[in-house]
Amino acid sequence: MNATPLPAARLRRLGSALPLDDRILVVGAGEPVPLPEGSDQTYPFRAHADYFYLTGLEAPGAVMAFDPRDGAEAGWVSFVPPVTEGERVWEGRQPWPGTPKEEFARWLEARRGRGVAGLGAPVAGIEPDAATTENVRLHFKHLRRPKDAAEIALLRRGAAATAAGYARLPDLIRPGVTERALQIELEAEFFRAGGTRTGYGTIVGGGPNSAVLHFEPSARPVGAGEFVLVDAGAEIDRYVTDVTRTYVAGRPTAFQRDLYAVVLAAEEKAITRCVVGAEWTAIHLAAAAELLAGLVAMGVMRGRPEALVEQEAHTLFFPHGLGHMVGLGVRDGSGLAPGRSKDPRACLRTLRMDLPLAEGYVVTVEPGLYFIPPLLTDPVRRQRFRDAVNWPLVDQCLHLGGVRIEDNVLVTAAGPEVLTAAIPKTLAG
């Protein structure tokens, strides 16, 4: 169970705001998934985020149900399965707090004939109404976007544990250290500092591997003067921190320093733009133009940055979006504002969300510039952008890797607050 008691206010707020009309709502936690080889083991169980948000429980097979007729707060009933003897013996599991799941059938029977919306994981025997469910899902996601005080407290603790891990790195980043060794030290410190898991698969890439966006750390030793990109974060009670720092093992070249300075300036500028009401697409496009202005100044690209972005030329070196929402999971609540459809502009193809920022949102800001061989050796792209890129210079940089810098930003009425500000941004390891 979540260590932080869930505020009843959260249930009340959702109970009064979800567009259910007279329908009931059923939210499934999900079931454990057996490993494919047919042993008696399962993948680690993670309750569906919709369910977890409402209950704070990791209870397999559980259901949270809501009837708006019974009141915005009193209408919620948390049905939990019994704990078996086997679970007590093998896992030491204690009974879940809540109403016994066997009463769920009676609860449903008393509401027979009413429409049903379904969130979370599917619940056996329930066939939710598809159109209502889609609408309720959109609103639920949107209502979850502003983080409440309990969530922000968890994110602050996660940011502190993540900072403790990153504090280990500068002393360790030397030529010869392996990506795996860095991962081990970083994650050990996350756990020592209160992390309950890592928020996602830790990324550590040295040299050319720093240009693989989600690189899994290997036994490769880092070479002298290579970039080392580390993207990792601690998770506490399901709340995730998502941070990237880039270092050089040894002495950076002038070119590496310039590339780093361009990304850092774009990141810091983008963070200042994370204010209430700001459109995420506008922040992304401004950052893309600033990154390209930097590449033009470095002699890597030619042209007017805004025009290059309109032609999607930024995706050669910055092939992902500026960031995403983060919290209950590493991609918490990203997507579109209600009523919006995907913006068809090619220059926004790589963006994960399109919404105005609001108070309480927590977003990542993570610009990057990379020399990614599969993109930069593609003949179609080379032809299309033949005049926009200094290809001979790019050819010399194909081994170089890349730079990403990522922080987590809480949008407040007083401006952006960087939750991960305690993690230094220093290039030289």
- CA–CA dist 417, 269 (Å, integer): 13
The DSSP H or E segment spanning 139 is: helix 130-144
- CA–CA dist 156, 420 (Å, integer): 8
- Residue with smaller CB distance to Mn ion, 133 or 244: 244
- Residue with smaller CB distance to ligand GLY, 66 or 215: 215
- Residue with smaller CB distance to Mn ion, 152 or 203: 203
Question: With CB cut-offs between 5 and 8 Å by kind, which of Mn ion, ligand GLY, none does residue 209 bind?
Answer: none
Query: What sign has the CA pseudo-torsion 287, 241, 333, 246?
Result: positive
- 200 is a contact residue toward ligand GLY (CB under 6 A): yes
- Residue with smaller CB distance to ligand GLY, 350 or 412: 350
At closest approach, how far in Å is the CB of 40 from ligand GLY? 33
- Residue with smaller CB distance to Mn ion, 133 or 408: 408
> Which CA distances in Å does 14 have to 76, 119, 376?
10, 13, 47
Task: Give the phi and the psi of residue 105 in degrees, each rounded to 5.
Answer: -60, -40
User: HSE on the CB side for 94, CA within 13 Å?
Assistant: 4
Is 117 within 8 Å of 136 (Cβ atoms)? yes
At closest approach, how far in Å is the CB of 130 from ligand GLY? 30
Question: With CB cut-offs between 5 and 8 Å by kind, which of ligand GLY, Mn ion, none does residue 200 bind?
Answer: ligand GLY
Number of residues that bind ligand GLY (CB under 6 A): 6
DSSP state of 251: P
Relative to beta strand 63-66, strand 415-418 is unpaired
3-class DSSP string for 11-68: HHHHHHHCCCCCCEEEEECCCCCECCCCCCCECCCCCCHHHHHHHCCCCCCCEEEECH
At closest approach, how far in Å is the CB of 234 from ligand GLY? 12
Number of residue whose CB is nearest ligand GLY? 231
Sheet of 243-248, strand order: 203-206, 227-232, 243-248
- Residue with smaller CB distance to Mn ion, 51 or 166: 166
- CA–CA dist 368, 211 (Å, integer): 10
> Can you tell me which residue has the tokens 């070479």?
223
Q: Is 257 buried (19+), middle (13-18) or exposed (0-12) by CB count in 10 A? A: middle
Per-residue x/- track, 206-245, ligand GLY (CB under 6 A): -------------------------x----------x---
Per-residue x/- track, 130-159, ligand GLY (CB under 6 A): ------------------------------
At closest approach, how far in Å is the CB of 251 from ligand GLY? 28
> Which CA distances in Å does 46 have to 62, 73, 324, 374, 400?
12, 25, 21, 35, 38
At closest approach, how far in Å is the CB of 334 from ligand GLY? 10
Q: Which residues, 235 to 294, sit near ligand GLY by CB under 6 A? A: 242
Per-residue x/- track, 343-382, ligand GLY (CB under 6 A): -----------------------x----------------
Question: With CB cut-offs between 5 and 8 Å by kind, which of Mn ion, ligand GLY, none does residue 235 bind?
Answer: none
- Residue with smaller CB distance to Mn ion, 281 or 420: 420
- CA–CA dist 78, 54 (Å, integer): 9
At closest approach, how far in Å is the CB of 320 from ligand GLY? 8
- Residue with smaller CB distance to Mn ion, 104 or 280: 280
Binding site for Mn ion (CB under 5 A): 231, 242, 244, 364, 406
Contact positions vs ligand GLY (CB under 6 A):
200, 231, 242, 330, 366, 406
